[in-house]
Amino acid sequence: MIIKSTRDGFGEALLKLGKTRKDIFVVDADLKESLRISEFAQKYPDQFIECGVAEQNMIGVAAGLALTGKTVFATSFACFSPVISWNQIRIAVCYSKANVKIVGSHAGLATGMDGASHQSLEDIALMQVLPNMVILVPADYEQAKQLTKLAAEHVGPVYLRLARPETEAVSGKRLAVRVGGSEILRKGNKITIIGCGIVLGEAMKAAEKLDAEVINCYSVKPLDEKTILESVKKTGRVITIEDHNVIGGLGSAVAELLGQKYPVPLKILGIKDKFGESARDYKELWHKYGLDSDTIIDAAEEVDQEIR
């Protein structure tokens, strides 16, 4: 089984796209190695612009290129862009409907020892409230390649959220992806687990003990409402999990959907309105903040008690 990071998948897919599509440009904020785009910069120097440590300016450059007909990927750590560059994204990209793909890597607690300043736990929430913005979060290396291609094909603003760690694939079979799509990683009958990103590996571990249906909600905005509702109507109970603040993320979006269309017992797992911290390994943080398989199993029992 391939063990690679979602940022690796992004870099490889972008390199392939650069060969066949000369309209694709990459602008970077001095993080070529970390975003896996060094080879793209070397092979296609006429399609690459290094903006330096100036994320707000980078977004302006990206929007300007997009408005001349280019498809632009603007790359940085999520804690810098979209967090620092949010106002530029709001006006120059979203208001203008510019064809810019914001790529935020090293998102969530999964940066490990980098600590709170570099652990972006609010980026999905920031992107959720922006009109015209699509949010895509790959679960593993292979899906990162798929979603990079999808982002390039979609005309309009996209936020692609990537992670640092190398992880195993959550699924041995890859289905076609689409904006507003999802994939059922595991069929089940007793509870629905909805997640996004690499933390889905923990959901799959827990699901084996729960007879759970697991949905990879790789399109956080727009949601795949049809698939979610069909699953929930079968199981009658839901857990969401994400490496993000519980406020404004995937769980909040699912809660809004269910509250309006099919209310059922729901448990939202994520970081409970706190900043992160340093650790030797990100798995230690996932355990402390309740993002591991044991916490999911406990949450399922709590939801079950509510029904009884």
290: left (phi over 0), alpha (psi -120 to 50) or beta: left
Asked if the peptide bond before residue 222 counts as cis, ω within 30 degrees of 0, the response is: yes
Can you read off the two tokens belonging to residue 6? 């979602």
Can you read off the two tokens belonging to residue 109? 């607690």
Q: How many CA atoms lie within 13 A of 240 on its CB side?
A: 29
Can you read off the two tokens belonging to residue 57? 């300016």
Q: CA-CA distance, 235 to 267, in Å (whole number)?
A: 14
Can you read off the two tokens belonging to residue 11? 């870099």
Is 168 catalytic? The answer is: no
Residues listed for the chain: 308
User: Residue 91, SS3?
Assistant: helix
Catalytic, out of 12, 33, 39, 55: 55
Please give the C-alpha separations between residue 216 and each of 65, 184, 195, 227, 301, in angstroms, as whole numbers.
33, 6, 6, 10, 21
What backbone torsions phi and psi does residue 57 show, to the nearest 5 degrees? -65, -40
* Contact of 90 with 130, CB cutoff 8 Å: yes
Task: Write out the catalytic residue numbers.
Answer: 55
